[in-house]
Structure 1
């Protein structure tokens, strides 16, 4: 049995941590969507990462993939760079537990409680597509945790998109307005990349903060790549609309309206030039700074107290 089939078989056995804000559904369709998303963005960027870590991975490094989902990135990079050790972590157990390269492993944990790793444990720490998982106030401590577990002179990388389309028409604006309204109710910020860039630049423990972007034309006007990207975005929008975590009321009637909004959006992108921007940020951790253990102690105390509360129940 392949790892994708195994994931789908176990989808109903997953344990979800309290406090996780992920608004998309957790099912076999979402697994398929995230696999497709991975390959679409690889086609756009022509590479699975932007930080200058190629030589490091070839030589051998410890790598952490935060919010790894079904583990597509982790597994493929682990296969390609056999001298490195890859660790994926996610709140959901939808990654393979048996069929995987020997240099790849996975942990289930809620990263909002702090990463369950020691200081300076990884040479490279990456996090992708987590906008729908964190509230705005949670990004700062998450980035601090990324830096904490990264070794001095190691690299961190974040890949995110904003829910913004360039030169989009009225149907596109309607789609964005509808989704944004519901996400705001959940405390999810839909224009997150400026905030991420600000947090990285204001942190004294990292240097060489770099921002890169790719602008892609959507739909048939953007050739085959544009068609694939539009299909991926359409799939993501449908997943959001079908998520009971986001849209709860009048499911049958409302889904009909939402599907019409999505279809109008797709048709408009195929007729009207519409662009989407994908961004990557990376930075290098500086040599050790004194008194950097505060956040480590905070998260360890938090995990300890949660453990005590669990035993009392």
Structure 2
């Protein structure tokens, strides 16, 4: 899937991409307009300030706004992929989906309803968490639109456990529930960056039964980004792809502000390069979760997260421009 961005004929959306001071004005993601300031959005950036599903350190409810603040210095041209992501698709900040912090079941239902409402407009979602519990209702909404999707899951952890203290909805269970509910294309599921201790070897066995392939953090280090990207693309193929990024996929040196840090993770450079390598994949929506700024006073984690979200938005913007160019240049 390739496109020369200069051939995209849709007018450039009115976005804040001039030389104004980056540290002034409202902190929307990348200083894009709010959703209520545009007629329609191709990509809606939405926050979900929910962290009642965590099993260790709380604080990810503040993650979305921390990422927005860190994204102020993002600029309109992405040289790595030769794309103006905010010019070739209308990106808008949709604010936050309100979720009950005291009742996980109610929170999951309201996140799903909020995602449904945004997806019904034709937008794709770039969701900023929040903890990883939110991936389940997001996948429900995306699968309702696209059918079972391929999943690329960046994380230190599997997140396919059955329950925690009897709770079925937590940040460690979303992909077990998603597989059980038929939301995932089980021939195209991958974890990237996993590492650390487990409860038992059966955790890996059960994960394999669900259909997941694993690329550990050590695999990335030993085999290199290019080989890993090729493996992932072969597994994903042309299927609709949902990308879920837990920022703890990064080593704590690169992302200390997260709830469940594990040593031995990816560098921020490795994560960004893997995401960029997916430019020809059909990304239909994405999330980035588990940024907990209280543990990171230097904003290292928020900066890494904002740049990762920017690359994910770029992937979606690039393919939107391509599909629009094809439509405009196909004889009726």
Question: Does the alignment reach a TM-score above 0.5?
Answer: no
TM-score of the two chains, using structure 2 as the length reference: 0.28
TM-score of the two chains, using structure 1 as the length reference: 0.29
